[in-house]
Amino acid sequence: MPYNVKLQQIPLKQERNLYTLVENRSVYSMDACELNVFETHRQAEAVNLQFGDWVLTSMLQGKKVMHLSDKPGFDYLPGESLILPPNELMKIDFPEAAKENPTQCLALAISAEQIETTIQLLNERHTKAEDGEEWGLSMEHLHLANNLELAEIINRLIKISLNDHSREKDILVNLALRELLVRLMQTQARAFFEQNYQRLATSNRFGYIMQYIKENITSRIDIDRLSEKACMSRAKFFRKFKEEFGYTPADFILKERIRLAKQHLQDPFNSVTQVCYMAGFQNLSYFIRAFKKEVGLTPKSFQLNLRSRADA
């Protein structure tokens, strides 16, 4: 999974306040959702968890191994989230949980009415670029890496749920839930197109645009040229691309160049200057600033970290 953004920490319960050492549950109820915070303080296997609504779970601390339906189990770590449909059974292992190393996870159960009204609003006011396509939560991409936008809105919901005791609390929660659902659908759309852009290139304008960008990433890419290829005005292309994926075409180009730069930095014989131009950047200072903002490290530090891990 790509570089993940971790969520803010929630204070752990004191042991004397725990009802159980396995999936101890604290509940914060609002009109349109219910925030659950789970803590596990000892190893356990095959713990079942299920909700009657769509639920967003996000790892805060420690490690779980998740088993969904008949699929192989996978590690579930901080910086990652799951969006699951109603009545989806989670079977969870806690291989590393201990008193000194507890596992903590949140689960936000969202009412069906809140989801339906948000999707209806989007389909009425912000139609998809392709005729016949509609907004909706996908069953295909349930395991997500937290991007900055998704992490920020989840953190805001945590803060409101735990700390806000005003009369306006439910209004604030409802507004935040609407934004959260939009961010989730955008994140799912990005994951879907990333995995399927080649198949979509002949039938979907954004699939075609993504393929074109990836194939020409080391060259100068003009946004006006992209909008022409999408058969849209520049303004409409920019707006619809951002609505669908949560970032602009220029943002996508930048992320693709940084992804390519990270690949080239794995070769210790490539200098930072060489990688800059190999990844399609034209200015070394801009490359270093953009890389650090996206990855959290300078290109050189990223390369040295890769080398130290390889030598360990």
> C-alpha 169: how far from its chain's center?
25
pLDDT of residue 230: 96
Beta bridge partners of 129: none
pLDDT of residue 140: 84
Residue that has been written with the tokens 């159960």 in this structure: 109
- Residue 43 class from Cβ within 10 Å (0-12 exposed, 13-18 middle, 19+ buried)? middle
Domain extents in the chain: 1-195, 257-311
Predicted model pTM: 0.87
pLDDT of residue 4: 82
pLDDT of residue 70: 76
Distance CA 66, CA 60 (A): 15
pLDDT of residue 1: 36
pLDDT of residue 105: 97
Q: What top-level class would CATH report for the domain 1-195?
A: mainly beta
pLDDT in single tens digits along all 312 residues of the chain = 345 899 998 999 887 788 899 999 999 999 999 999 999 999 999 999 999 999 999 999 999 999 998 789 999 999 999 999 999 999 999 999 999 999 999 999 999 999 999 999 999 999 999 988 999 999 888 999 998 899 999 999 999 999 999 999 999 999 999 999 999 999 999 999 999 999 999 999 999 999 999 999 999 999 999 999 999 999 999 999 999 999 999 999 999 999 999 999 999 999 999 999 999 999 999 999 999 998 889 999 999 999 888 776
pLDDT of residue 112: 95
pLDDT of residue 44: 96
Q: Following DSSP, what letter does each residue of 121-141 receive, concatenated?
A: HHHHHS--SSTT------SS-
How many CB atoms neighbour CB 101 within 10 A? Answer: 12
Q: Please give the C-alpha separations between residue 66 and each of 45, 72, 106, 201, in angstroms, as whole numbers.
A: 10, 9, 14, 33
CA nearest 25: which of 61, 49, 42? 49
CATH for the 257-311 domain, from 3.40.1710, 3.40.1010, 1.10.3470, 1.10.10: 1.10.10
Report the DSSP pairing between strands 80-84 and 54-61.
Answer: antiparallel
CA nearest 58: which of 105, 124, 122, 25? 105
Q: Reading across the β-sheet that carries 143-145, which strands appear in turn?
A: 24-29, 33-40, 103-110, 54-61, 80-84, 143-145
pLDDT of residue 3: 58
Distance CA 266, CA 306 (A): 7
